[in-house]
Amino acid sequence: MSAIKIEGKSPISGIVKLSGNKNAILPMIAAAMLCDEEITLCNVPDILDVRSMLEIFAALGGKFEFQNNILSLSAASANTAVIPRELCSKNRTSILYAAPLLVRFGKATVYPPGGDVIGRRRLDGHIYGLKTLGSTLNSEEAYIFEAPNGLHGRELFLDEASVTATEQILMAAVCAEGRTTLYNAACEPHVADLADFLNAMGGRISGHGGNVITIDGVSTLHGCKYTVSGDHIEGGSFLALAAANGGDIKIEGITPRHFWMTRRVFERLGFKMTLTHDTLIFPGGQQPQVKKDFDGQIPCISDGTWPQYPSDMMSCTIVAATQTQGTVLFFEKMFESRIYFVDRLIAMGANAVVCDPHRVVISGISPLHGMTLPSPDIRAGMAMIIAATCAKGESTINNIEVIYRGYENLLSKLTSIGVKCREC
């Protein structure tokens, strides 16, 4: 199957149980290479990106079992520090094996990573972190890291608060000799989740969740059992779907603080919701209207590093904005290609003006009509699904394997809340 057909304008109502955080589990799989004892991870989403990371784990000689969202990993039989080129090309997070392989073998060979084409995604923070901690780098066709004398703690300052660079440094420093202090670290929930997981393995990490992280290196790590937190981006995506359709939805398995900024943004679009200790409640029948700024100006919704609004939420939120009364500017600061999907929304009938690769003005409410659409990346693909659910008539969403990289059991979750959809 490579497409989904969706019949728009169906009543939306129901409960969605969050899957585990995609961006947390991927570095955790790589981190399992840091010890010989068995790791058990619970609430693991069965998505294509997880399967890609497990392919690499097996290619390195590791063993795993994965069923019913429980993943058991053992790196005791790992026997190579070289990741095949074709496996590196499947996703962005293949690069995160560099640090665990350096710790385990004193060397690592990885090839340029793949992933969504949403703009330039620098590796400079990764290179800076690993070299500062004691690795050398030869980078002709592959990235060949070597640390024959081991890794040693240092003070580091990232020039941007990169999520994956922060994760790479955490995995390198956790077993490095001495103390590492990382300044301008990423603060996202999945970064903190990885740090908690490394601590459950015996690491000594503190300050995660803030932008200064301290890592006191330990000589060895041990096995553990750990539960991955719920995926706040998945939750926000289904929130946007309900908002665009005037539906009511309950999203279970949330961490409330992960949705504080999401709530603020949706309030600016005129939507109301309630957060409990583990559930987001979004009532149906709302008549949203964009709230202007205090001085009467058009509001701007922009993304940024945590705790600002996640870039991964921008595409779905833009679709929700087409179904609220008023005008709002979206400013995508982090990736220069993420806004391009709006051209498809315009073809569906959205009243939108793409100002430049980073900014788009949305004026609603815009009646949308069904059409055939691509899935250019994970989040834009989900945004296309949301647009199809609130459009008149039938839509076909192609390249759905792109969306399946990040959303578990997507069709069953969509149908459970009333979306009329099928694979074709």
* Pairwise CA distance, residues 256 & 277, whole Å: 6
The counts of H helices and E strands in the chain are 14, 23
Q: Phi, psi at residue 384, to the nearest 5°?
A: -65, -40
In this structure, what token pair is assigned to residue 158? 């990232």
Judge contact between 229 and 24, C-beta under 8 A: yes
Residue in 49, 116, 303, 377 annotated catalytic: 116
Contact 116, 92 (CB under 8 A): yes
Q: In the annotation, is 116 catalytic? A: yes
- Tokens, residue 105: 């073998």
Sequence-distant (≥ 6) Cβ neighbours of residue 210 within 8 angstroms = 185, 187
How long, in residues, is the chain? 424
Residues 65, 251: contact at Cβ < 8 Å? Answer: no
CA-closest candidate to residue 315, choices 333, 339, 293: 339
User: Does an H or E element contain 23, and which?
Assistant: helix 22-31
Q: Is 281 helix (H, G, I), strand (E, B) or coil?
A: strand
What does DSSP assign to residue 149? T
Q: Which residues contact 49 (CB under 8 A, 6 or more apart)?
A: 22, 26, 91, 93, 405, 406
Inter-axis angle of helices 163-173 and 22-31, nearest 10: 30
Catalytic residues: 116
